[in-house]
Amino acid sequence: MNAYPFSQQSFDYQRIEQAIRFVESHVTAQPDLDEIADHVHVSKYHFQRLFKRWVGISPTQFLQFLTLEYTKEKLAEGRNLLDVSYDAGLSGPGRLHDLFVTFEAMTPGEYKNMGAGLQIEYGFHPTPFGECLLAVTERGICHLSFVTEERRDDAFADLQSNWTHASFQENAQKTDTLINQIFASQAANASRPFHLLVKGTNFQVNVWQALLSIPKGTMVSYQDIAAYLGKPKSTRAVANAIAINPVGYLIPCHRVITKNGQVHQYRWGSARKKAILGWEAADIMQQAMSA
């Protein structure tokens, strides 16, 4: 049994998000650890323990992964990795993704039918980044979104709007197995890939596929993705496609930031985006230390 269940991780995440939001809104003041801990209504000692439990490192170390200096450094690395991927012909889905994700896009006819005849099973689950809604079909995962402000109805309405003619059935027992595989620390070693079923225009699908070439711990800009697709003037269209990514986390849109290193513009909140990026950076660091 998991010694640190997702329910506790999700609960802890609420304070982590509050802390990140506080730091976001007090950038010029640069609050110290005591001020941040006080804002989330815990002692400095408890705040340290909370971070160590949630991500394995101290809050000071974690916040270093969110500095402008760090993100700019990662942007340069990410651009080089995309160049290598493109030159080597490794742009196929899942070739570089740490969770081995593959996907298929619906045909134009299926796209037009908006999911007619499709059975979608779904469930709400706690994760290290708050509650999420996961939906699956016989052909693969079709939706993963985070629930903001405890509004499950809004999250489900968003799912339905993308598949208006599909039939829906709640089946949290089925989706729970996938949640464990997606967010467990050993997921990167899974022998079976996660298969996705996505619905979008050719351009949107190409953007989502390009995102799968961004490894964990790496960041790229919207301009980098546009250039990678051979459409350097399509940055705005790329950003729009990323903004409606139907399968959060697995299609890692959180790894795309602005060209000047700013981390914002995330469908489920900039604080969550920073939390995921910091979590991934910490995981990479700990893996390197234990190697």
Classify 263 as helix, strand or coil.
coil
Helix (H) or strand (E) holding 136: strand 130-137
Question: What is the DSSP annotation of 176-242?
Answer: HHHHHHHHSGGGGG-SSPEEEEE---HHHHHHHHHHTTS-TT--EEHHHHHHHTT-TT-HHHHHHHH
Positive/negative CA dihedral, 205, 164, 139, 188: positive
Phi-psi label, residue 189: left if phi above 0, alpha if psi -120 to 50, beta otherwise: alpha
Q: Answer yes or no: 253 catalytic.
A: yes
**Active site residue: 136, 205, 238, 253, which one?**
253
Q: Which residue has the tokens 């990140």?
A: 20
Question: Rg of the chain over CA atoms, in angstroms?
Answer: 19
User: Under a CB-based contact definition with an 8 Å cutoff, are residues 93 and 186 in contact?
Assistant: no
Residue type, 129: F
User: Under a CB-based contact definition with an 8 Å cutoff, are residues 215 and 98 in contact?
Assistant: yes
Q: Tell me the catalytic residues.
A: 253
